[in-house]
Amino acid sequence: MRVLVYVLDDLKCIRQDLLQEVIKELENYLKVKFFVEKFFGNIPKDCYNQRRMQYNAERLLSFVKYLNLNYDKVISLICEDIYVEGTNFVFGLAEINGKYCILSLRRLISINDELFKTRVFKEMLHELGHCFGLKHCANDCAMRFSNSLFEVDTKNKYLCEKCYNYIMLKLENLRNQT
């Protein structure tokens, strides 16, 4: 299992060392290998909504899909604000049981490094959790649905036992297949 953290813009909103720490922690928690790559080039213009001054998350996902990256899971990161039709904004978007997800760090920013890292960890875990097949969870769990920063901050940083075991079992089955 190889997970790619795909940096879509210059990611000015987060310090490199903070992001590295979050990725290390995710690696240890999920017991899978993470890689980081940067996208060089221009994001297609039709991904950006001029009127809303936000990026369309679905179009961004389609664009990254089209690049056909050679990893098992790909989480794209961007500092720009993102949305899907019918919402003011979304923190992230994922294909349930799929390969691709995206997370915007814009609304997670904090001047408190620890808080910022915790938020990024939670939301990366949440979106990747969807890619591993998890749906929203009613327990005190990182897979609980969160639509506001308050909900992000009050939910558990980690997965509940049920969700964690689900992912671990899935990864174990994948290892046994190969």
Binding site for Zn ion (CB under 5 A): 137, 139, 141, 143, 160, 163
Q: How far is the CB of 30 from Zn ion (least distance, A)?
A: 14
Q: Considering beta carbons, is residue 16 or 88 the nearer one to Zn ion?
A: 88
- In DSSP terms, 104 is beta-bridged to 78
- The 8 Å CB, 24+ separation contacts for 172-177 are 174/1, 175/1
CA distance 142 to 26: 13
Q: Considering beta carbons, is residue 71 or 132 the nearer one to Zn ion?
A: 132
- C-alpha angle with apex 37: 112 to 120, nearest 5 degrees? 25
Q: How far is the CB of 55 from Zn ion (least distance, A)?
A: 18
- CA distance readout (Å), 89 to 10, 26, 62, 124: 21, 25, 18, 17
Q: Considering beta carbons, is residue 69 or 125 the nearer one to Zn ion?
A: 125
The two beta strands, 73-78 and 2-7, are: parallel
Q: Considering beta carbons, is residue 11 or 160 the nearer one to Zn ion?
A: 160
Q: How far is the CB of 96 from Zn ion (least distance, A)?
A: 9
CA distance 105 to 124: 10
Q: How far is the CB of 158 from Zn ion (least distance, A)?
A: 9
127 assigned to active site: yes
CA distance 78 to 9: 6
Catalytic residue among 27, 37, 127, 172: 127
Query: Which residues are designated catalytic?
Result: 127
